[in-house]
């Protein structure tokens, strides 16, 4: 509890972080545990919205807006279309999990333990300074159009290829 | 703000996503779990950008978002094609490529 009383930590920011983080972890657990595919997609919306809120807490406004537009706006609609086009039954399904799904719990727990140990060991006591202002979008565009120009153009081709590939794959011939 | 907060949240989301990829049988659910993993990585990138006060982490996160959108588009098109050919998207029934 002494962590909350430290003067160098913004208490309101931390409380907001923990509330959103708890919501996100619960939503993520429901995504991987619910028996209804549509419910899983809607819980995924909760998680993605929480991620956008965390971006705003981390002074990344542009990324947060991109997250809302791309993930919640576009990707989730794609997912819902994918669910509706591939499912015969509406409602709960009993065979959403593999037969050996239990093996995933120790694997995920081990992975989490290793990562938590590494993070606590390296960053356990370090505190991020309060950002003076959100990251200005001009700083992002400077990186995008200067040293990041070639990856940016490559990314445009990736998106073009993905769009064409999706049309070719999904069209009836 | 503690540096470990964002990183621990990313680690938890990553592990949940890995569990989903291993446990789920439905191809669409596996794609959703992959989205969880990619978002966990993005949280880490933003956290490190905040730590170093640099814009590069944000740019990387935007790259990841764009690639994830492309991945979902192609992935769902493939799922749709598999469903059309086999009337099922259960991943354990796709055994044609087994050696």
- Give B99 or A16, the one with higher predicted confidence: A16
Note the CATH number of domain A2-92+104-134: 1.20.120.1200
Name residues 57-86 of chain B within 8 A of A (Cβ).
Answer: 58-59, 61-63, 65-74, 76-81, 83-84
**What is the DSSP-derived secondary structure letter of residue A131?**
P
Rg (CA), chain A: 21
pLDDT at B60: 93
Are the C-beta atoms of B24 and A96 separated by less than 8 Å?
Answer: yes
- Alpha-carbon distance A90 to nearest alpha carbon in chain B (angstroms): 14
Residue by residue, DSSP assigns A31-64 as HHH-S-HHHHHHHHHHHHHHHHHHHHHTT-HHHH
Angle between helices B3-23 and A104-123 (to 10 degrees): 170
Chain A nearest-CA residue for B87: A86
pLDDT at A98: 80
pLDDT band for position A77 (cuts 50, 70, 90): very high
Minimum-distance CB partner of A41 among B17, B20, B32: B32
pLDDT at A89: 60
Instruction: Identify the burial level of A56 via C-beta atoms within 10 angstroms of its C-beta, where 0-12 means exposed, 13-18 middle and 19 or more buried.
Output: middle
Residues of B in contact with A74 (CB under 8 A): 69
Stated pTM of the model: 0.89
Q: Is the pLDDT of residue B5 over 50?
A: yes
- Residues A95-146 pLDDT 10s: 778 888 889 999 999 999 999 999 999 888 888 877 778 888 898 999 989 9
Share of chain B above pLDDT 70, in %: 98
- Alpha-carbon distance A158 to nearest alpha carbon in chain B (angstroms): 7
pLDDT at A90: 61
Are the C-beta atoms of A9 and A129 separated by less than 8 Å?
Answer: no
pLDDT at A55: 94
| pLDDT (mean) for B18-45 | 93
Give the start-to-end residue ranges of the domains of chain B: 3-89
- Alpha-carbon distance B96 to nearest alpha carbon in chain A (angstroms): 18
- Residues A149-161 pLDDT 10s: 999 999 999 999 9
Average pLDDT for chain A: 87
A71 vs B69: CA distance, rounded Å: 8
Alpha helices in B1-99 (DSSP H): 3-23, 27-52, 56-86
| pLDDT (mean) for A86-98 | 71
pLDDT band for position B43 (cuts 50, 70, 90): very high
Are the C-beta atoms of B13 and A28 separated by less than 8 Å?
Answer: yes
pLDDT at B95: 74
Residues of A in contact with B66 (CB under 8 A): 70, 155, 158-159
Six token digits for residue A117:
């140990």
ipTM confidence score? 0.90
Count of A–B CB contacts within 8 Å?
Answer: 248
Average pLDDT for chain B: 89
Note the CATH number of domain B3-89: 1.10.287.3510
Six token digits for residue A160:
């073009």
| pLDDT (mean) for A32-49 | 92
A135 vs A138: CA distance, rounded Å: 9
* CB-based contact B32 A79, cutoff 8 Å: yes
Instruction: Identify the burial level of A80 via C-beta atoms within 10 angstroms of its C-beta, where 0-12 means exposed, 13-18 middle and 19 or more buried.
Output: middle
Least confidently predicted of A129-143, B26-40, B70-84:
A129-143
Q: Is the pLDDT of residue A26 over 80?
A: yes
Angle between helices A149-170 and A137-145 (to 10 degrees): 80
Give bridge partners of residue B24 from the DSSP assignment: A97
- Residues A42-74 pLDDT 10s: 999 999 999 999 999 988 999 999 999 999 999
pLDDT band for position A1 (cuts 50, 70, 90): very low
């Amino acid at each position: 509890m002494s962590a909350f009383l430290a003067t160098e930590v913004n208490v309101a920011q931390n409380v907001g972080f923990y509330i959103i983080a708890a919501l996100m972890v619960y939503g993520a657990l429901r995504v991987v545990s619910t028996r209804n595919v549509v419910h899983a997609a809607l819980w995924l919306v909760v998680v993605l919205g929480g991620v956008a809120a965390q971006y705003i807490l981390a002074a990344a406004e542009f990324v947060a807006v991109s997250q809302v537009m791309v993930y919640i706006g576009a990707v989730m609609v794609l997912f819902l279309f994918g669910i509706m086009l591939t499912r015969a039954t509406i409602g709960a399904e009993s065979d959403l999990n593999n037969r050996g799904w239990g093996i995933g719990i120790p694997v995920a727990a081990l992975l989490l333990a290793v990562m938590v140990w590494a993070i606590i060991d390296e960053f356990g006591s370090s505190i991020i300074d309060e950002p003076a202002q959100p990251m200005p979008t001009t700083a992002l565009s400077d990186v995008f159009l200067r040293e990041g120009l070639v990856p940016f153009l490559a990314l445009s081709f990736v998106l073009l290829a993905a769009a064409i590939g999706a049309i070719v794959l999904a069209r009836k011939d | 703000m503690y540096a470990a907060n964002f990183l621990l949240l990313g680690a938890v989301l990553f592990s949940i996503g890995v569990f989903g990829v291993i446990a789920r049988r439905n191809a669409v659910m596996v794609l959703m779990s992959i989205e969880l993993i990619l978002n966990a990585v993005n949280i880490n990138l933003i956290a490190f950008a905040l730590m170093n006060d640099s814009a590069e982490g944000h740019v990387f996160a935007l790259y990841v978002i764009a690639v994830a959108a492309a991945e979902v588009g192609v992935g769902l098109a493939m799922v749709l094609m598999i469903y059309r050919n086999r009337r099922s998207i259960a991943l354990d029934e796709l055994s044609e490529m087994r050696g």
